[in-house]
Structure 1
C-alpha cells in the first residue's frame, strides 16, 4: 500500500530545494551593477547555491525513484495532467537552471575557478564555446518559469486543502499530520525566510577584510627629493662639498654587508576595483641583500616573489589572479625586483632605483624605504607604486582601467640579520 505521507528524506529534500530556489531567485537581483569585490563575492555565493540545488535535485530524483510515496490525489483528468506537468516542470527548472549556469561559467571568456562556499573545488564543464549564448538565455528564462510553476503549485495545493477538503499539505511537512493551519504556516515561514535571506545576504560583508597594504606602510616615508635647496652662502657650499668628499672617501673604503631575512616579513599590495580596495599579500618570497648605508655604490638587492602564493582573502579571486589574464603562473611562476642604485634621503630614509620583472616584462620601479640598523639586526619598511597595465597584468575585459585601476600600491615590512 502507498504511504499516507512522504518519507522524511523526501520532505527534507523538498523544502531544502524550495528554500534554496526562493533564495536564489531573490538573490539574483543583487547580481547587477559594476564589477568589483562585492559583486565578485555575490557571484561566488550564487554559483555555490546553484550547484547545491543541482546536487540536491539529482538526489531528489533518485529518492523519488527508490522510496515509496503517496498515491496521486484523484481528480479530473485536466487537473491530474496539469499537476504532472507542473511537477515535471519543477524538475526541469531545478536541474536546468544550475546546469545552464554551470555551462555559462565554463564557457566564459573570463575563467574564474569555482570553490563551493569558498572551500570545495568544482570543475568546469568541457562544453564548447558556442553553448555559452544559448545557456545564458535559458538561465535567464528558467527562473521566470519557476515562479509561474510555484504559483500553480501553491494554487493546486490550496485548492485540494480548502476547496476539496483533501489534507494534502500535511503529506509534505514534518509533523503536519492533518493540521492544515500549522502546515500552511510552516510552509509560508520556510519560503518567506528564504526570500528575506536572499534580500539581506552579504557574502562580502561577512568576511573580515585582510590587512591593508596602505595601513601596513610606514607613515614616515617621504617621497624622493631630487632637487637640492640652494645654499645660503659660499661658506656653506664649501662645507657641504667637503662633507660630500669625506662621505665619498668613507664609502669607497667601506663594504656592504650580507643580510638574511628573518621570519615574519610582509609583502603587501592594494589595488582599486571600482573604487573598492582589494588588499593582498604574497606569503612566499626570498631575497639576496647586500647593503650598507656607508657603501651605497656597492650595495644591491635581489628579490624573488612566488606569484602562486598570492592571498587576497578569497581563494576564488586568488585563482583568477594566477590565471592567464593576470599573473599567468603557468608561464611565469615568479616575479623579481633588482636594484643596484641607492640614494640617501637623509636620516634613515633611502631610495632604491631598480627594475621589476613581471610576466616577462621589465620596467623601472623606484621605491622609498626606511632602514633602522641596530648591531646585526635591521628593519626595512617601504612603499612603491606600479602600473599593472605596463606589465600586461589584466587581459581581455580587464585590460582597461575603467573597473580595475592601473596603479597598484606596494608595501613591505621585514627584518633581517647580518651574515657577517
Structure 2
C-alpha cells in the first residue's frame, strides 16, 4: 500500500508515474528531520534532570525546538505543493482496504507533522516544566539565528503545559507507529507486489509499471476522516492522561508584564542628572572598557558582557568626599554568545528589558583601602529592586589616563532575577560575578 497517495485527484491535475523532484526532496528532508527527533526527544527528557547530562540536554532541547519549527515550515510547504501538483495514482490492483489505509495514513502523517510542532510550541509558551512541575521560561532561538516568540497569553498555564506535553508525546509515539507502518508498506510494494510504488519516491530504483487507480470523491472521504480522527484521538488521549493534579507547592508570582519598547541608551544618558561632586571628571574610553558577568548554567560556566552602557565619573584619590560615579547599563544589550540565553535575559523574570531598559549603579561614598586599592559604596537598581552594593577596585594612574578594575558578586535572589522559574538555583547559579574594567582620560 502506498501511503503517499491522497484523496481525490483534481481534474486539472494530471497524474505522473513518479513524484516531482521538489516533492521527493521535501519528503526525504522531512523524513530525516523527523527520524532524528525521536531518539533525541527520548534521551533529553530523561537527561535534563541529571547533573552530569543537564547541560547537553539543555542544548539538545534548543536543537529539538529548532528542528521542530523547521518541520512545521516544511510541512506547510509540502501541503501547498501537494495541493498544486499531481502525484502518482495508486496501483489498480490494490485491495479496497489497502487503499483506505494508504490514504488514511497519508492524511495522518500530515496531521501529525503539523500538530506535533504546534503542541510543542504551546508547551514552551506556557512556561512550565512538566518534568519538575515548576515554572520555567526559556526563550526559543532558531538555531541561534533569530528568536521565535512564544504564543501570546499562555504564560504560567500549568494545566495547559501538562496537556500540551501529553498530546505532544502521544502524537510522537503515533508518528513512530506510522513510520513503522510506512516502511513495512513500502517494502511490501517493492519486494512482494513489485508494482513500482517505491520507485516513485526513490528515483534510482526501477520498478515495474502499474495501472493507475483514482478513487472517486465520495470514497476518499472515509480515509481522510480516519486520518484526521487518528491524530485527534491520540492527541486528546495524551492530553487527558497527562492533566496534572492539584499542586501542593504554591507557584511563585508571575513575572512582571512587558511594556513599551526599551528607551535608547542615548536618551537615558542625556537624562542622567549631573553630579554635585567636585572631584576630577573623566571621559570613558569605551573601546578599552567593559562590564562583564559570569556564573554557571546547567552545571557549565558561562560569561557575558553588556555592549551598551555609559557613565558619569568624578574621582580623585585626594578628594574622596567629592568623588561620585553613576553607571547606566542598557540591559537589553546583554550578550553571552548563546542566543537562547540572551533572549531569556530580556524576559520579564530576568531583566524585563522592555519595561526596565536600564540598570543603574550610583555611588554614595568612597574609601581608601591602602595603596592603589579603594572601595565604592553605593546602590544598584535593576527593575524595581534597589540593593546596597560595595565595589572594591584597583585604581592606577599614568599621566592623564587612569585604569580601574573591580569585581563584585551579586545575589540573584536579592535582585529578583530568575526567581520565577529558578528560585532554588537548579539551573543558574545563585551568585553572579560582575567585573568592571574602565579606562578613562582626565577631562
What TM-score does the superposition give when structure 1 sets the normalisation length? 0.77
After the TM superposition, which residues 308-347 of structure 1 pair with which residues of structure 2 at under 5 Å, given as runs? Answer: 308-347=332-371
1:30 to 26, 37, 44: 44
User: CA 1:37/1:297 → structure 2, altered by over 3 Å: closer, same or farther?
Assistant: farther
Tell me which of 81, 84, 88 is aligned to 1:66: 84
Q: What per-residue deviation string (whole Å, max 9, x for no partner) do you get for residues 91-113 of structure 1?
A: 12211111111122222254444
Matched, 1:14 2:27: yes
Q: Give the whole-Å Cα distance in 1 for the aligned partners of 2:321 and 2:149.
A: 53
Q: CA deviation at 1:371?
A: 1.3
1:375 matches 2:393: no
Q: Which piece of structure 1 moves more, 62-71 or 12-21?
A: 62-71
Match for residue 77 of structure 1?
Answer: 96
From 64, 87, 98, the counterpart of 1:46: 64
Residue-by-residue CA offset, 1:58-106 (whole Å, 9 max, x unaligned) = 1112212211111112312222222222222211221111111112222
Q: Is the 8 A contact 1:118 1:315 kept in 2?
A: yes
Deviation at 1:127, TM superposition (A): 6.5
CA-based RMSD: 2.1
Check whether the contact 2:141–2:343 (CA below 8 A) recurs between aligned residues: no
CA displacement 1:195-240 (0-9 Å, x = unmatched): xxxxxxxxxxxxxxxxxxxxxxxxxxxxxxxxxxxxxxxxxxxxxx
TM alignment of 1:15-414, pairs within 5 A = 15-28=28-41, 29-31=43-45, 32-34=47-49, 38-73=56-91, 74-109=93-128, 110-126=136-152, 129=157, 131-178=160-207, 256-264=279-287, 265-414=289-438
SS in 2 for 1:416: strand
8 Å CA contact 1:298–1:340 kept in 2: the answer is no
1:274: Cα distance to partner? Answer: 3.5
How many residue pairs match? The answer is: 344
Contact kept? 1:10, 1:63, Cα under 8 Å: yes
Q: Which has the higher helix share?
A: 1
Distance in 1 (CA, whole Å) between partners of 2:160 and 2:385 is 36
CA distance in 1: counterparts of 2:418 and 2:152, whole angstroms = 25
Q: Distance in 2 between matches of 1:160 and 1:175?
A: 16
User: Please, which runs of 5 or more residues in structure 1 have no aligned partner?
Assistant: 180-254
Q: Secondary structure of the residue that 1:396 maps to in structure 2?
A: coil
Contact 2:48/2:58 (<8 A) preserved: no
Asked which structure has the greater CA Rg, the reply is 1
State which drifts further: 397-406 or 366-375. 397-406
Distance (Å, rounded) in 2 between the aligned partners of 1:126 and 1:80: 41
Runs of 4+ in 1 over 6 A off after TM superposition: none
Q: How much has 1:347 moved relative to structure 2?
A: 2.5
Deviation at 1:9? Answer: 0.8
Shift of 1:133: 3.3
What are structure 2's unaligned runs of at least 5 residues?
1-13, 129-135, 209-277
Select between 122-131 and 47-56 the one with higher mean Cα deviation: 122-131
Q: Distance in 1 between matches of 2:61 and 2:284?
A: 40
Cα distance in 2 for residues equivalent to 1:385 and 1:410: 6
